[in-house]
Amino acid sequence: MAPPLSRRSLLQAAALAAATPAIGYPATGRASAAVQEAQAVTAVPAGWSVQPFALDDVALRPGLFADKRQLMLDHARGYDVDRLLQVFRANAGLSTGGAVAPGGWEGLDGEANGNLRGHYTGHFLTMLSQAYAGTGEQVFVDRIRTMVGALTEVRAALREDPAVLSVGGRFGTAAENVRGSYQYVDLPAAVLGGASAITLSAWVKPTHAGNWARVFDFGNDNTRYMYLAARNASGIPRFAVTTNGPGGEQGIDGTAALPLDQWSHLAVTIADGTGTLYVNGTAVGRNTAMTLTPAALGTLAHNWLGRSNFDTDPVFAGAYDEFNVWSRALTAAEVSDLQSRRAADASAGRGDLASYAFDETSGGTFADASGRGLTATLLRTWGGPSHPGFLAAYPETQFIDLESRTTSDYTKVWAPYYTAHKILRGVLDAYLTTEDARALDLASGMCDWMYARLSKLPEATLQRMWGLFSSGEFGGIVEAICDLHAITGKAEHLALARLFDLDRLIDNAAANTDILDGLHANQHIPIFTGYLRLYDATGEQRYLDAARNFWGMVVPHRMYGIGGTSTGEFWKARDVIAGTISDTTAETCCAYNMLKLSRTLFFHEQRPKYMDYYERALYNQVLGSKQDKADAEKPLVTYFIGLTPGHVRDYTPKQGTTCCEGTGMESATKYQDSVYFKAADGGALYVNLYSPSQLTWAEKGVTVTQTTAFPREQGTTLTVGGGSAAFALRLRVPAWATAGFRVTVNGRAVSGTPTPGSYFTVSRTWRGGDTVRISMPFRLRVEKALDDPSLQTLFYGPVNLVGRNSATSHLQLGLYRNAGLSGDLLPSLTPVSGKPLHHTLAGTEFAPFFEGTEDPTHVYFKRSEPRVIFGNSDSGVANPAKSDGTTLLDEIWAGAPFSSKGALVTRVRSTVNAWVAAGRLSRADGQTVVRTAEHATYAR
C-alpha cells in the first residue's frame, strides 16, 4: 500500500472539475483511516494536459466579481445554520432546538411534501468551503465544523432505535415527537382490554397544525378503529369509532382548535350509549347514540399514539405528558380534577387499563404504571434503524420506492440521489477545507451505503431508474464519487460511479445522435461532467466522446444569448430559440452546470470555444442571476430568467431554496475558479478570463496580478511578481474581439497577429516587474435567433445589453442608421453619462445584463430597418427584403469592415445593382440609395 496523499495533493485532487476549494488550513486532528490507507493517486488525472489552480491560489481583487461575492459572503456569515440542520435532526428524532427550516423546497411544508429537503444544506457547506478558500476567514470554518458535527450525530441516531426526546411537561417531563421524525408510540394489543365502558385521557402540546394527526389511533386497518385526532378537516378535535370504515364512524367533534405550543388536556368517555369529548376539563361535544365500544372492536393489531391507520395522515407533532385508560367512564368532576394534578394524585387515580407518565429521559420504551405491565415502545413509521452510512433529511423510503417505480411522481419520490449528491459534495468539500475526519467518514459512508444498495440491483432496474424524469435525477453525483475515489482509492467507490451509467444517453451522445428534445435539461447536463471523470478513471473513450458531442448539441443549438439553456426546465428541438422563449427560460442551474462541463472539457482539449462559452455564461447569466442587494435570509438568486419582453427577474422563487439558489450560492463564491489554468508540464499559463485577481503560482515562485475594470475597461494589465520563471503566457483572444487584440510587454508590442477565438502566446523568461498590457476594443454587434433572424440580442464585447422597458411586446429597433465603417453599430446608440456600458436607443436605456436589478428587461428585440439610412442620412427609400428576411442593408453591411468611405460606397453600388437586376429595387430608388451613401458622414 502506497503512502497517503499529501495535504496539498488531496486539495488539488478535489479542485478537479468541481472547483472544490483547496486551502492551506492547519490540521486540527488526525487524518481518517480511509486517508491513511489510501492508494497513491496523482493530484489530477494523468490525461489532463491543462490543470486548474486551487481556489486559494487565486485571489479576487476589487471589481465586479468581488462586489457580487461580498453580498453572498455576508449571507453565508449571518445565516443560522441550525435552520438548515433542522430537517436532518428532525428525521433522526433529535432536538431541533426550536429552529425553523427555511421553507420552500427545504422543509416539511414545501413543494411535494418537502421531498427534496437536505439538498440546500449540501450547497451551503460547499459555499462555506469556497468562502473560506477565497477569504481565509475563520467564521466559515467554524460554521462548517458545526454542521459536520451535527450531521455526524444525525447519522449515528439514524443507526439506532429511536430514543425518547425528553422535554419539560405539564407536570414533570414529557416525550416530544419532533415534526419530521416519523416517530410514534406503539402500545401492546391488550391496552383496551375489551372494555364496554372506557375513558381515555391525554395531555398534549401540538406544535404543528396538521389536519388528521392522531393523538391516538387503535385499529386493524381502515375499517375497524377508534381514534382521537387533534384536528379534523375543520381544524378542531374529533373522536370517532367504527367497525365499518369512515362511512360508519360514530363521532364527536370539538368546537375550537387546540392552541399550538400550549398544553391541552383531552379526554373521551364512553358508557351506556353516550360518548363525551372533553377539552381542558370542559365537555365540548356529546353523542348520545353511540352503540360502539372498545368491546365491539375486538383485539386490535395497531394501538398507536401519534400515528394514524391511514397512511396519508401526518404523524402527530408535539409532546405527550400522561396518557391514561380507565375501564369506566370518569365523571365530569374526575375529568376536571385531572387538570391540576397528575392522575396518580387525582381522584380518578392512574388508569387501570394503561397509564404512562412519560417521565423517561432516555431509551425507547415507556413503563406502564397501571399494574398490567403494558410497556410501550417508541418506533418509526418507516421501520429502522437505517443501513450503515445512510445520511439524509428523510428516511430511506424514497430510495426504496424508486427501485420499483415505473412512472415519476415527485410527491412520492423526488430525486433522492440528486439530494444525496448535494449532501455528498458538501461533506466532501467540508473535509477538504478543514481536514475534519468526520466529514470524510460521512462522505465515504454515504458511498458505501449507495454501493451496498445499488450493486444488488439488476442492470435493467438501474437503467429504468436513471431514465425517470425527476424521480431518477442524480445530478453530479458521479463527479463527486470519482473525486472521493481519488482520495480513498476504494474499488467499490469507482464501481459505484459506474452504476450511474445511463447507456441510452451515453451511446447516443457518443455517436453524436441528438436525442435531447423533450429531456429535462438540468437532469442531464451534470451527468456528462461525471462521465468525463469516469473517462479519467477508466480510459473508456465513449465517456469523453459523449461529453464532447453533448456540449455541441447545446452550444449553440439550444443556447440563448446570455449562455443559458432550457425552457420550463426542458429542451425543445435543436435550433429552436425564438420558438422557445418564455417566462421560464434559462434555468440558472443549467448555466452553472454547463460552466463546469466546459472547463472540464478544456482540461482534456484546449478548444477556445469552451472558454468563450464560459465567459459568455459567467459574465451574463451567472452574474445577472444574483441580485445586487444584501439579504440575511435569502441568497437572492434567480431560478429561471425569463426572456419574454418586459420580464422582471424573480430573485426569491419558491421562498428562496430551490436548486438554483443552491448553485447560485456556489457560483458566487468561486468566481475565480477558471481565470487561470496551467499546463500539466508547467510550461504554460493560460489566462482565460479578464478579471481583477492575483494568482500565486507556487511551483514557479511567481505571482501574476491582473489589474482591470473589465468589462467596464476594454483591456487589462498583467504584472509578474516574485523571481524569474520561464513559461508561455497564453492569452485568450475572445471570439468577439474582431476590432483588434493588441499585446505589449514592458511597453513594446509583441509580434504576431492574434486571431479571434484562439489563444495568443507570449513565451519568455519572466522576471519580477514584467508588465503585459492587453487592449481589446469592444464593438456593438447583434446575435440572431437561429430560427428567426429578425429576433436579435445586443452584445458590446462580452456584455449582453438589455433594454429596460416595461412594454410587454418586442421592441422594434433599427441599428444601421449610424453604423461605423468598421461595422460597429455602437454609433447608433447614445452613451449615458456617468454610467459605463449604459446607452439609450429609441428612448429605451440599454444596460448590462449582469446588473442584478428588478427592472423590466428586453433581452431580445425585433430588428426593424424600415428605410435605408446611412450616417443618419435618410434616403426615404423603403429597405427591401428577400424572402428569407435578409434586407438590402443587411447585405450591404455584411461587407464590413470598410477601409474607407469609398469602399463602403463601392459596396453599396454593387449591392444596389444586384438588387435592381433581380427586380427587388427600382432603378430610381437604387440611385437615391447610392447618392445618400455618397453624401453621408460616417463614424469609424
Q: 271 and 329 in contact (C-beta within 8 Å)?
A: yes
Average pLDDT for 558-563: 98
Average pLDDT of span 206-220: 96
pLDDT of residue 885: 87
Residue-wise DSSP of 85-128: HHHHHHHTT---TT----BTTBSTTSHHHHTTTTHHHHHHHHHH
In which band, very low, low, confident or very high, does the pLDDT at 42 lie, cut at 50, 70 and 90? very low
- Write out the three cell numbers for 119: 439538498
Residue-wise pLDDT tens digits, 302-355: 999 999 999 999 999 999 999 999 999 999 999 999 999 999 999 999 999 999
Spatial CB neighbours of 239, under 8 Å, sequence gap ≥ 6: 227, 228, 229, 251, 252, 268, 275, 277, 285
Q: Please state, in angstroms and rounded to a whole number, the distance separating the CA atoms of residues 614 and 321.
A: 60
CA distance 487 to 465: 28
Which residue type does 438 have?
R
pLDDT in tens, 742-783: 999 999 999 999 999 999 999 999 999 999 999 999 999 999
**Euclidean distance between CA atoms 35 and 32, whole angstroms:** 5
pLDDT at 43: 56
Measured CA to CA, the distance from residue 280 to residue 294 in angstroms comes to 24
Q: Where are the beta strands (DSSP E) in 272-421?
A: 274-279, 282-287, 302-305, 318-326, 354-356, 365-366, 376-380
Distance between the two ends of the chain, CA-based, in angstroms?
68
Contacts of 887 (CB under 8 A, 6+ apart): 865, 879, 880, 881
Check pLDDT > 60 for residue 294: yes
Give which of 397, 203, 399 is closest to 311, Cα–Cα: 397
Strand, coil or helix: 377: strand
915: cell is 438588387
Share above pLDDT 90 across residues of the chain, in percent, rounded to a whole number: 93
CB 757 within 8 A of CB 608: yes
pLDDT at res. 16? 44
Examine the pLDDT at 5 and tell me if it is beyond 70: no
CA geometry: angle 571, 671, 555, nearest 5 deg:
25
What is the structure's pLDDT at 109?
A: 85
pLDDT at 47 over 50: yes
Taking each helix axis from N to C end, the angle separating 119-135 and 81-91, rounded to the nearest 10 degrees, works out to 140
C-alpha cell, 26: 492547519
Alpha-carbon distance of 502 to 568, in angstroms, equals 23
Residue 720 in this model has a pLDDT that exceeds 60: yes
Would you identify the CATH topology of the domain 166-380?
Answer: Jelly Rolls (2.60.120)
CATH architecture for the domain at 676-775: Sandwich (2.60)
Range with the poorest average pLDDT among 12-21, 453-462, 550-559: 12-21
Give the pLDDT of residue 384: 86
pLDDT for res 30: 31
Which pLDDT does position 31 carry in this prediction? 36
pLDDT value of position 40: 30
Amino acid at position 132, single letter: Y
Task: Determine contact, residues 451/162, Cβ cutoff 8 Å.
Answer: no
- Per the CB < 8 A criterion, the answer to whether 678 and 697 are in contact is yes
The helix (run of H) or strand (run of E) holding residue 238 is: strand 238-242
When mean pLDDT is compared across 102-111, 139-148, 621-630, the lowest value belongs to: 102-111
- The region of weakest confidence among 38-47, 874-883, 892-901 is 38-47
- Check whether 35 has a pLDDT greater than 80: no
pLDDT, tens digit, for every residue of 824-847?
999 999 999 999 999 999 999 999
**Exposed e or buried b per residue across 579-594, where buried means at least 16 C-beta atoms within 10 angstroms of its C-beta:** ebbeebbbbbbbbbbb
Residue 692 Cα distances to 65, 67, 94, 369, angstroms: 8, 12, 46, 73
Mean pLDDT to the nearest integer, 162-178 = 96
* Mean pLDDT for the stretch of residues 424-434: 96
pLDDT at 2 over 90: no
Nearest to 143 by CA among 158, 117, 121: 121
**Per-residue pLDDT tens digits for 839-893:** 999 999 999 999 999 999 999 999 999 999 999 999 999 999 999 889 999 999 9
386-391-392-394 Cα dihedral, nearest 10 degrees? 10
Q: Are 21 and 129 in contact (CB under 8 A)?
A: yes
The helix (H) or strand (E) run that includes residue 455 is: none
Query: How many angstroms separate the Cα of 92 from the Cα of each of 114, 313, 452, 702?
Result: 16, 20, 21, 50
pLDDT above 80 (res 11): no
Peptide bond into 385 cis (omega under 30): yes
CA 164 to each of CA 45, 167, 213, 540: distance values in angstroms, whole numbers, following the listed order: 49, 9, 19, 52
pLDDT score for 726: 98
CATH 2.60.120.200 residue window(s) in the chain: 166-380
- pLDDT above 60 (res 13): no
* Rounded-to-integer distance, Cα 500 and Cα 274, Å: 62
Q: Which residues make up the CATH 2.60.40 domain(s) of the chain?
A: 676-775
Place of cell 387515580: 349
- pLDDT value, residue 33: 38
Rounded to 5°, angle at Cα 18 from 15 and 21? 45
**pLDDT (0 to 100) of residue 775:** 98
The whole-angstrom separation of Cα 759 and Cα 218 is 75
Peptide bond into 556 cis (omega under 30): yes
Q: Mean pLDDT throughout 514-518?
A: 98
Percentage of the chain with pLDDT > 70?
95
Q: Per DSSP, what are the bridge partners of residue 782?
A: 794
H or E element, residue 678: strand 676-679
Query: What whole-number distance in Å separates Cα of residue 618 and Cα of residue 616?
Result: 6
Three-state helix/strand/coil letters over 495-529: HHHHCCCCHHHHHHHHCCCCCCCCCEHHHHHHHHH
In which band, very low, low, confident or very high, does the pLDDT at 21 lie, cut at 50, 70 and 90?
very low
Mean of all residue pLDDT scores within the chain:
94
262 band by pLDDT with thresholds 50, 70 and 90 = very high
Q: What is the CA angle 770-771-775, rounded to 5?
A: 155
Residue 478 has pLDDT above 50, yes or no: yes
**What's the pTM?**
0.93
- Mean of pLDDT values over 419-429: 98
